[in-house]
Chains A and B, each alone.
Chain A
Amino acid sequence: MMDNLLDIENLWVRFPSRQGVFDAVRGVSFSLGRERLGIVGESGSGKSMTGRAILRLIRSPGIVEADYVNLHGEDLLAKSEKDMRAVRGQKISMVMQDPKFSLNPVTTIGDQIIEAYRLHNNASKSEAYAKSIEMLNAVSIRDPERVMRAYPHEMSGGMGQRIMIAMMLIPNPEILIADEPTSALDVSVQRQVLDIMDKLVRERGMGLIFISHDLNLVADFCDRVLIMYAGRIVEVCEADKLHEAKHPYTRGLLNSLPRLDAPRDRLEVLKRDPDWATAPSVSGRT
C-alpha cells in the first residue's frame, strides 16, 4: 500500500437538464500517491470534469457526488466552501489549458505573482518579490525581472504556461492538477514545459494529475494512466505499458493515430461498442 495523498471512491458528476439528468462522470474511483497520474480520454469522456470535481469547481447546476474524496483522510466534499478555498491553491493547485484566460490581462505578471504569494504567505512586498523571481527562475524563465514588469499579452503561449505553473507552485501545494497544460503549445515548447513540471514534481515530491487527450504524451510523461470513456474508467495501466493496452477502446485510439514510421493508406477507425459505456468502471486505486 502506497502513501496515498488523494483517495476517491465512486465519484459522480451530474448535470440536470430539461431532457433529464446527464452524468458526465459515472462512479469513478482512484487514488493518487506521490506519482504522475495521467487521465486520458476523448472530449466528453469526463476527464476534465473529474479534475474539476476534486476541487469542487463544477459550476451550478452541476452536482458532485462521491462516497468520499479524501485528502489525507479528510473528505473534501464535507468541507464548507470557506474551508475549500483554503484547499484550492494551498493544498491542490490547478493549471488550465490556456494561460491567456487564467491571467489577468490588465495587471503585470509581477503584481499577479506577488499578490498570489502574499495571499498565501504572510510576507512583505520585497520578500514576495524576491520569492517571485526565484519561482520564475525555477520554471526556467530567463530575465525574470523583465517578465515581472510585462503584461500577459506580451508573453508567448509557452511563457504564459510556465508563469501559470510558477504561480500554482507558490503556495507549495501537495497535488497539482494539470488540465491539458500543453495542448495549446507547439511541440518544441511542449517538451520544455513538461520537463519543468516533471522536475518540480520530482523535487518537491508532489502528486500530479495530468489530464490529456494525447496518448503518446501521457505514455511518455506519466507513471500510471487511467483511460476514461463516457464518464467511466475503462482501463488502468502502467504508462510504459500503454502500448500493450488490452481494452479495445485504448487499442482503437492507439491505432487511429497516423504514424510516420508505419505509413498506411487508410487509418483504422475506432468502432465504438455500446458495452464500453455500460461496463462498470475499473478502479484506479492502489
Chain B
Amino acid sequence: MSETQSLRAWLLTDTPTSRRHARLSAIYQGWLSLRSNTMAMVGLGILVMLVFIAAAAPIIAPHDPFVQDLGNRLAPLGTEGHIFGTDSLGRDILSRLIYGARITLYIVALVALIAPVVGLLVGTVSGYVGGWPDLILMRITDIFLAFPRLVLALAFVAALGAGIENAVLAISLTAWPPYARMARAETLTIRTSDYISAIKLQGAGPFRIITKHIWPLCISSLIVRVTLDMAGIILAAAGLGFLGLGAQPPSPEWGAMISEGRRFILDHWWVATMPGLAIFTVSLAFNLLGDGLRDVLDPKAGE
C-alpha cells in the first residue's frame, strides 16, 4: 500500500528530477483527468474490448465465420449454438461479427495513420510558409472538400477497383482536407506567438519550427478530431461495404453484412440489425473517448 502511495506521489510531483520523470508525470496527470470522465472511460473500455476481441477472434468465435450451413439458414436470435442467429447462408452471425472486428480495426487504423498525417503536413506547411504555397495547397484542399465524401470515395473505388485496401485509400483521400484546414488555422495563431518568435531568434529554420514547435501543439487537437471522426470513417467504410465497393464477400465486414441482410430485413431483421448494432456501439465508443480526450488534451480548454 505504502509503495503505491509513494509511486503516486512520485508521479504527481511538481518537481520532477529527470526527463523521464517529467514525461511520466505529465502522462499520469493526463490519465487521471481522463479517468475522472466516466463516459470517456466507457468509450475506452468498449474499444479495449474490441481490440481484445479482434486479437482473440479464433479463440472466442464459436464457429468458423465462413462455414455455410444451408440447412440452418436465417435461424433467429437465441437459436441453440447461434446466439445471434445465422445469415442467409447459415453462417453464424456472432462469429462473423467477431472476425469483422478485425476488419473494422484494420480500416480504422489505416485511415487514422494516413489522413491526419497528410492533413497535418499540408496544413502546417501551408499555414507557416504562407504566400503562394499556401494558396495552392488550400485550393487543392477546397477542391477535395467540395465533393461529398462518399461520392468522392465511390469515384476512387470505381477507378481503383473494389477491395478493402482501396476503400481505405479512398476514405483517407476524402478525410484529410478537414484536418489540413484545422492544422492550418492552428498554425496561423501559433506562428505569431512569442515562443515561435523566440526560437526564431535562436536561428531555428522553418523545418525545425514546424516539426518541433508547431506539430506538438496541433497533434492534440488532431487526435481529438480523429477520434470524433472515427465514427464517420467506420460508417463510410460500412457504406462502401454496403454498396459492394468495400470488402468483398465472403469477408465478414460489418457494412457488407448489413448489405446482405437488407434483402430479408422485414422477415429476418436480426441479420442486418446485429452488425448495425456493432457499428453503432463502436462509433459511439469513439465519440465518447474523443469527447473525453478533448478535455484532457486541448491546451486551450486547460488551466
| Chain B residue at minimal CB-CB distance from A19 | B12
Q: Is the interface of B mostly helix, strand, loop or mixed?
A: helix
Interface 0/1 of A1-37, CB less than 8 Å to B: 0000000000000000011000000000000000000
| Chain A residue at minimal CB-CB distance from B32 | A18
**B:3-29 near A, CB below 8 Å:** 12
Chain B residues, Cβ within 8 Å of A18: 32-33, 36
Chain A residues, Cβ within 8 Å of B33: 18
Q: Write the nearest CB–CB distance from A18 to chain B, whole angstroms.
A: 6
- 4 A-B pairs within 8 Å (CB atoms) are namely A18-B32, A18-B33, A18-B36, A19-B12
Number of residues from A at the complex interface, CB < 8 A: 2
A interface vs B, CB < 8 Å?
18-19
- In the docked arrangement, what's the CA distance between A19 and B33, Å? 12
Q: Write the nearest CB–CB distance from B34 to chain A, whole angstroms.
A: 12
Chain B residues, Cβ within 8 Å of A19: 12
- In the docked arrangement, what's the CA distance between A19 and B13, Å? 11
Number of residues from B at the complex interface, CB < 8 A: 4
Q: Write the nearest CB–CB distance from B29 to chain A, whole angstroms.
A: 9
Q: Write the nearest CB–CB distance from A16 to chain B, whole angstroms.
A: 12
- In the docked arrangement, what's the CA distance between A19 and B8, Å? 12
- In the docked arrangement, what's the CA distance between A183 and B155, Å? 59
Q: Write the nearest CB–CB distance from A60 to chain B, whole angstroms.
A: 14
| Chain A residue at minimal CB-CB distance from B29 | A18
Q: Write the nearest CB–CB distance from B158 to chain A, whole angstroms.
A: 45
Chain A residues, Cβ within 8 Å of B12: 19
- In the docked arrangement, what's the CA distance between A246 and B249, Å? 87
- In the docked arrangement, what's the CA distance between A82 and B32, Å? 36
- In the docked arrangement, what's the CA distance between A11 and B33, Å? 30
- In the docked arrangement, what's the CA distance between A27 and B32, Å? 31
Chain A residues, Cβ within 8 Å of B36: 18
Chain A residues, Cβ within 8 Å of B32: 18
- In the docked arrangement, what's the CA distance between A169 and B113, Å? 57
Q: Write the nearest CB–CB distance from A100 to chain B, whole angstroms.
A: 17
Interface 0/1 of B31-45, CB less than 8 Å to A: 011001000000000
Q: Write the nearest CB–CB distance from A284 to chain B, whole angstroms.
A: 30
Q: Write the nearest CB–CB distance from A48 to chain B, whole angstroms.
A: 15
- In the docked arrangement, what's the CA distance between A18 and B34, Å? 12
- In the docked arrangement, what's the CA distance between A274 and B244, Å? 73
| Chain B residue at minimal CB-CB distance from A18 | B32
- In the docked arrangement, what's the CA distance between A19 and B36, Å? 13
Interface 0/1 of B65-95, CB less than 8 Å to A: 0000000000000000000000000000000
Q: Write the nearest CB–CB distance from A96 to chain B, whole angstroms.
A: 18
- In the docked arrangement, what's the CA distance between A228 and B33, Å? 32
- In the docked arrangement, what's the CA distance between A18 and B12, Å? 10
Q: Write the nearest CB–CB distance from B27 to chain A, whole angstroms.
A: 15
Which 4 A-B residue pairings sit nearest by Cβ, starting from the closest? A18-B32, A19-B12, A18-B33, A18-B36
Q: Write the nearest CB–CB distance from A269 to chain B, whole angstroms.
A: 23
- In the docked arrangement, what's the CA distance between A18 and B32, Å? 9
Q: Write the nearest CB–CB distance from A62 to chain B, whole angstroms.
A: 14
- In the docked arrangement, what's the CA distance between A172 and B33, Å? 45
**B:183-201 near A, CB below 8 Å:** none
Q: Write the nearest CB–CB distance from A38 to chain B, whole angstroms.
A: 28
Q: Write the nearest CB–CB distance from B15 to chain A, whole angstroms.
A: 14
Q: Write the nearest CB–CB distance from A61 to chain B, whole angstroms.
A: 12
- In the docked arrangement, what's the CA distance between A277 and B32, Å? 30
- In the docked arrangement, what's the CA distance between A242 and B33, Å? 45
- In the docked arrangement, what's the CA distance between A19 and B32, Å? 11
Q: Write the nearest CB–CB distance from B269 to chain A, whole angstroms.
A: 45
- In the docked arrangement, what's the CA distance between A104 and B33, Å? 33
Q: Write the nearest CB–CB distance from A103 to chain B, whole angstroms.
A: 22
Q: Write the nearest CB–CB distance from B146 to chain A, whole angstroms.
A: 28
- In the docked arrangement, what's the CA distance between A19 and B14, Å? 11
Q: Write the nearest CB–CB distance from B187 to chain A, whole angstroms.
A: 23
Q: Write the nearest CB–CB distance from B8 to chain A, whole angstroms.
A: 11
| Chain A residue at minimal CB-CB distance from B36 | A18
- In the docked arrangement, what's the CA distance between A18 and B33, Å? 9
- In the docked arrangement, what's the CA distance between A127 and B32, Å? 56
- In the docked arrangement, what's the CA distance between A18 and B14, Å? 14
Interface 0/1 of B171-215, CB less than 8 Å to A: 000000000000000000000000000000000000000000000
| Chain A residue at minimal CB-CB distance from B12 | A19
- In the docked arrangement, what's the CA distance between A19 and B12, Å? 9
Q: Write the nearest CB–CB distance from A22 to chain B, whole angstroms.
A: 14
Q: Write the nearest CB–CB distance from A11 to chain B, whole angstroms.
A: 24
**B:93-111 near A, CB below 8 Å:** none
- In the docked arrangement, what's the CA distance between A18 and B296, Å? 14
Q: Write the nearest CB–CB distance from B154 to chain A, whole angstroms.
A: 40
- In the docked arrangement, what's the CA distance between A142 and B203, Å? 49
- In the docked arrangement, what's the CA distance between A32 and B12, Å? 43
Q: Write the nearest CB–CB distance from B33 to chain A, whole angstroms.
A: 8
| Chain A residue at minimal CB-CB distance from B33 | A18
Interface 0/1 of B245-287, CB less than 8 Å to A: 0000000000000000000000000000000000000000000
Q: Write the nearest CB–CB distance from A17 to chain B, whole angstroms.
A: 11
Q: Write the nearest CB–CB distance from B45 to chain A, whole angstroms.
A: 22
**B:30-61 near A, CB below 8 Å:** 32-33, 36
Q: Write the nearest CB–CB distance from B13 to chain A, whole angstroms.
A: 11
Q: Write the nearest CB–CB distance from B111 to chain A, whole angstroms.
A: 35
| Chain A residue at minimal CB-CB distance from B14 | A19
